[in-house]
Structure 1
């Protein structure tokens, strides 16, 4: 594949040739590893690390850490990387005193990043992001004075003078970015940020030259591109992240998106990147339940109408998916953001055919986006080193020690992995016949199929590093003493909290723990009461009501022990029907929204909690609303403020929040009332004097299942021994 640039004008005229030379053709993913010639520069492959706001961008003293973060991904093979959003001015801040590029001091800080990337032949792009009404500060501005649902501040309507000055600010940021060594900039025009606010009728209610039809609404964005191209010159990459489907009321139709794409090409954009949905959209776009590559057909529709490269994005996390997108001609590049948090070496592993060793992004959002919206530094649930490259360091040891890890859940596997990576002699003991711990329950929840990948990753890494894994092994003091271990890491995890002796009827055969249900030990009837409305209660309710996925009593629990097995995930068409997203790539419905399909849940479920108030209030910020929407749309009856009286063969008796005794007639009861730590292996003071003991994960704290903390616990302890 090749490209040609017409350098006589501001418009990159790129011709794509779909043929691939056999010279240096990658044996595993030939299309993914074909260079892309942009005329004035060449991308060494088709994989781009997309923009993620880590929190490190906002303070100058963190730019050394940010440089190390990008260096790891550049070393790992990414052809091009895009920074988190950098504001062109104060009004564009995401947060007060957020990251900017508007002075010589900023240039010096950013040079640390570009030098780190260029050391490994990776192109470095700075994203210029003006937050508009999404900013979390009192200076916010927008196309119209309409408050957003995700910021407490009402924006001021931008005057024409203000708009023109902001165009100049974008151009100045691009010029300074070039001085800092960046190969280009990405202009953020999607996800509901300022330029998207002007592009869409959802916010733009103006009647002047910047409002009305799409030709007026796109004027601001087109002027920004023209100014950036004029200021930065021809030998500079300009990406524009274009919202190809808004997923909000009064959003653009595809004809309007195509009109904008053509205008951006004419204005001087080098590559069009894909944006999906606004942050305020009530359609999930990147959570784990969204099928892989669920939106690529919208990117493909844009590609039909422009001659410059287009880049696909959203829920692309494994090489087979990425290769198929390029090979089928749906896009010229693939952008992945969170997968580079999970594994900085994603590209090199794919290039070398080591797909089974990729630490796959499971799209949980718990340590990346959730942290961003809580004003914390981002990291990654499955890779705690992400954004902590200079602090959580896995140094090779000079004198290997014998390390025992007790427990094969994610905390134990994380500890064993890092200890072995550093050169220690590691033995991992697991009482059951399968590794994965609580992840084995999570992975069978419809929409959480990606959790299989984490278990697969650890199994393969432990084998690759020579960790001795002993399944079906109950550890005792004698075994540990015989092993001559210097360190014993106790990661025995948790067990479901038992209500026997606390609630009459819990010994009845129709009563079970979530572990018994999700491991296939027990099955349920057509009506079910779920006791406990935390994260596990919601997961169980989704498991019991979803129309996709296979029940364990149909599969047989044994199949879940096969590390190569993957359950059939919800199809893109089924998912779109459920969430009201058009199936037509050339959609003419505003924002690409349609009526949601009727849902007939497979069971009637009651989800019960003792505390009063909304169920699911403690779920994660960026994904909790998706779970709440699921249980609502699937007819789950939510009961708060209930006191449990007893369970009988008729069902479960509760005292409702009006103080009345009530029978819920159900066939089965599933208990999701928390967990208890398994800690009997921790020695008393004076025991096993030759070994140092460490307690991690659920064994250390069982308050609420927290894989993020468990994996980090394991890594930190192993990094320190």
Structure 2
């Protein structure tokens, strides 16, 4: 008998040679006409760059791995080889007290310099350039249990002794005037170290509410000395940091990342930010990268619900300030809520902005630039803005990866190189887990056969793509379909695999997913009762709707019922709701963002979401859940928790026993069942009897929670164990 391979089994780490780069099928080609601007060369100070796409800073956790920097090197090498013109590292703390948490590196501590030298060499070997982001968390430092290099408890410091909500009760110490000056020198010293290591330049982190940003804001700088008390004095810290860094590294590229808007009531105004820009320009900056918001802001900034390119207006405003100044050639880099190079081209076409910084899209696809500039955008694996494996993990200090690319930040563990023993690999299920397994096996030269019972690929992603704000979920499905075709895989649609189909296989990944759980409730068989799959695939008739189940699927279903499918409409609503100038330049421009389901949008008060226990939106990512629930509350959706019992369904009503024990009729011309899922694992017994090597992954293995991050990661691990 062949044992079932545990899907979460640890795959042995394989050392990848420095010269190994991802396999690619994309031929060299001239830059497509529709990407002419983004594909054009430019200069960033002393750097001559081949295109206008910068890989923005991302904290991955690789920065502190005790492996000599080889994992970080593999991560950066793939992205440099994949066409990123310039890479910005994750934040490197300029001192012990500058760390944001235990997974932040500090130059000169614990082998950090050697690790970064390995990574820099890897980027250069791949033909790329890399800047070190100089970072100080300020009051955002999570210092519980942390010690400095001398074994003393780490301090949290700030312009003023003001904590923030996530600080777990830690009140930062106010920096003395001498300590402020020492901190300025810390930035300069870190820049000199970066130069000695071999970095091509440095970026000063002065955005998103970290220390430099804290000094600028009247919310967090209450000082009345030379470093605060007036807007000019609050700006002084940023000015002195830039001056010191520029002096420290006169031959390197120097950039700064500024918040175009803090999105914090009472914080720096646009005029304050613009005044800071004018003070910084004469100091020798090569570029200003424009970020948005603070981590504690209650305005969504990078979640999937935020319209594409929403924050371009802030970058354009700063670009106008620069162009009208005495230093008009300082570069301006835009960022946030752009997913691919077509977005970038739309932003850059009028030449007001010089380049774009994409971060999470490089997690989703290391070859984003190479594939796009070769005329193959259909192969680009799209960032879906879910945050689940990247930002959500980063904020709790967990290793970062990517839902749609589970190899991200694990390139060393899962190198991309042709298999020495190609095998027949069968993948059952064309959802996100099945596609992840099939694409990975096909990239390494295996004979891949994908079986999908429905007539379309996508599974749960296909359902998600019809949810307003989640249209990008269609992108990874489109990319996987294109790549499987490119690599000669066989895809069976509308064909449920049988054990006989799989008997000759060398390896089977069973990623057949889930089916909606049946509800034993009187009236559940009535014609106006729909599963969530029926509702999302076919639409929901007019009238009031009761949604049974308030987890992630229930919340998505309520959004489907109440929000416009027109992204332009949602962009206008977003701007009004949050009182911000939102660009509609990139809204609705890609085919994959167009909804395919005809549906009736109804007022929120006509929708009731019900839940027995637990949190509404449970299963939605940490940094996205509050946004999803806020949208429903704004729409007027009723959310009824602590339901003791669902009693019966009748025409026009769902009867429940509420938290007080009272029988209540909830208006319901339609009832949608979002009460969980059951595993679709009917092939397991047959495969075991047939002695076929197989693994069960994702929802087919455990349907208690629909967790796409777990599913795609399990799929990658399983296919590597079965077909190395």
The SS at the match of 1:304 is helix
Matched, 1:247 2:269: no
Matched, 1:159 2:176: yes
For 1:524 and 1:146, how far apart are their aligned partners in 2? 52
Contact 1:379 1:388 in 2 (8 A): yes
Question: How do residues 276-425 of structure 1 correspond to structure 2 at under 5 angstroms?
Answer: 276-306=292-322, 307=328, 308-425=330-447
* Corresponding position of 2:207: 190
CA RMSD, 1 decimal? 2.1
User: Structure 1 residues 682, 103: closer, same or farther in 2, change over 3 A?
Assistant: closer
Can you list the C-alpha shifts for 1:499-546, whole angstroms capped at 9, x where unaligned? 0xx2111111111110010011x5233311111111101101111111
* Corresponding position of 2:26: none
Q: CA deviation at 1:157?
A: 1.3
* Corresponding position of 1:494: 514
Matched, 1:538 2:555: yes
* Corresponding position of 1:576: 575
Matched, 1:120 2:110: no
474, 494, 506: which one aligns with 2:524: 506
Matched, 1:36 2:73: no
Q: CA deviation at 1:570?
A: 4.8
Q: CA deviation at 1:601?
A: 3.0
For 1:344 and 1:693, how far apart are their aligned partners in 2? 29
Give 5+ residue unaligned stretches, structure 1: 1-22, 551-567, 586-598
* Corresponding position of 1:702: 703
* Corresponding position of 1:219: 236
User: Structure 1 residues 24, 354: closer, same or farther in 2, change over 3 A?
Assistant: closer
* Corresponding position of 1:228: 245
The SS at the match of 1:519 is helix
Q: CA deviation at 1:411?
A: 1.5
Can you list the C-alpha shifts for 1:71-115, whole angstroms capped at 9, x where unaligned? 110111111101111111121111147311246953322111110
User: Structure 1 residues 632, 249: closer, same or farther in 2, change over 3 A?
Assistant: same
Give TM-score scaled by structure 1 length: 0.88
* Corresponding position of 2:100: 94
Contact 2:68 2:118 in 1 (8 A): no
For 2:609 and 2:714, how far apart are their aligned partners in 1? 32
Q: CA deviation at 1:462?
A: 1.1
* Corresponding position of 1:631: 632
Q: CA deviation at 1:330?
A: 3.4
Contact 1:545 1:603 in 2 (8 A): no
* Corresponding position of 1:592: none
User: Structure 1 residues 625, 211: closer, same or farther in 2, change over 3 A?
Assistant: same
Structure ranking higher on relative contact order (CA contacts 8 Å, 6+ apart): 2
Question: How do residues 577-656 of structure 1 correspond to structure 2 at under 5 angstroms?
Answer: 577-582=576-581, 601=603, 604-611=606-613, 614-616=615-617, 618-642=619-643, 643-656=645-658
The SS at the match of 2:357 is strand
Contact 1:102 1:173 in 2 (8 A): no
The SS at the match of 2:35 is coil
Contact 2:68 2:114 in 1 (8 A): no
User: Structure 1 residues 445, 154: closer, same or farther in 2, change over 3 A?
Assistant: same
Once the two structures are overlaid, the 10-residue window that deviates more, 178-187 or 41-50, is 41-50
Q: CA deviation at 1:325?
A: 1.3
Give 5+ residue unaligned stretches, structure 2: 1-28, 145-154, 323-327, 585-600
Q: CA deviation at 1:715?
A: 1.9
User: Structure 1 residues 463, 301: closer, same or farther in 2, change over 3 A?
Assistant: same
Q: CA deviation at 1:605?
A: 1.3
Matched, 1:172 2:189: yes
For 1:98 and 1:325, how far apart are their aligned partners in 2? 32
The SS at the match of 2:613 is coil
For 1:260 and 1:601, how far apart are their aligned partners in 2? 44
For 1:47 and 1:347, how far apart are their aligned partners in 2? 8
For 2:435 and 2:374, how far apart are their aligned partners in 1? 24
Once the two structures are overlaid, the 10-residue window that deviates more, 466-475 or 371-380, is 466-475
User: Structure 1 residues 624, 203: closer, same or farther in 2, change over 3 A?
Assistant: same
Can you list the C-alpha shifts for 1:17-65, whole angstroms capped at 9, x where unaligned? xxxxxx9876452211221124533122111000000011134436221
For 1:24 and 1:616, how far apart are their aligned partners in 2? 46
Question: How do residues 103-114 of structure 1 correspond to structure 2 at under 5 angstroms?
Answer: 105-114=111-120
Q: CA deviation at 1:291?
A: 1.5
The SS at the match of 2:205 is strand
Can you list the C-alpha shifts for 1:189-211, whole angstroms capped at 9, x where unaligned? 11000111111112112222222
Once the two structures are overlaid, the 10-residue window that deviates more, 237-246 or 202-211, is 202-211
Contact 2:191 2:202 in 1 (8 A): yes
Q: CA deviation at 1:134?
A: 0.6
Question: How do residues 111-150 of structure 1 correspond to structure 2 at under 5 angstroms?
Answer: 111-137=117-143, 139-150=155-166
User: Structure 1 residues 283, 491: closer, same or farther in 2, change over 3 A?
Assistant: same
User: Structure 1 residues 338, 679: closer, same or farther in 2, change over 3 A?
Assistant: same
Contact 1:145 1:156 in 2 (8 A): yes
Can you list the C-alpha shifts for 1:447-494, whole angstroms capped at 9, x where unaligned? 00110111111111111111111111132233334xx32222222110
For 1:531 and 1:187, how far apart are their aligned partners in 2? 49
For 1:384 and 1:327, how far apart are their aligned partners in 2? 33
Can you list the C-alpha shifts for 1:204-251, whole angstroms capped at 9, x where unaligned? 122222223321111001100111111112x11111001111101112
Contact 2:45 2:286 in 1 (8 A): no
Q: CA deviation at 1:274?
A: 0.8
For 1:414 and 1:459, how far apart are their aligned partners in 2? 11
For 1:518 and 1:339, how far apart are their aligned partners in 2? 27
Q: CA deviation at 1:154?
A: 1.3
Can you list the C-alpha shifts for 1:632-684, whole angstroms capped at 9, x where unaligned? 11111111110211111241111111111111122111111110011111134
The SS at the match of 1:653 is strand
* Corresponding position of 1:563: none
For 1:616 and 1:334, how far apart are their aligned partners in 2? 33
Q: CA deviation at 1:137?
A: 0.7
Contact 1:103 1:176 in 2 (8 A): no
Contact 1:291 1:570 in 2 (8 A): no
User: Structure 1 residues 448, 97: closer, same or farther in 2, change over 3 A?
Assistant: closer
Q: CA deviation at 1:319?
A: 1.2
The number of aligned residues is: 660
Contact 1:403 1:426 in 2 (8 A): yes
Contact 2:552 2:618 in 1 (8 A): no
The SS at the match of 2:689 is coil
Give TM-score scaled by structure 2 length: 0.88
User: Structure 1 residues 584, 74: closer, same or farther in 2, change over 3 A?
Assistant: closer
User: Structure 1 residues 631, 682: closer, same or farther in 2, change over 3 A?
Assistant: same
Contact 2:402 2:408 in 1 (8 A): yes
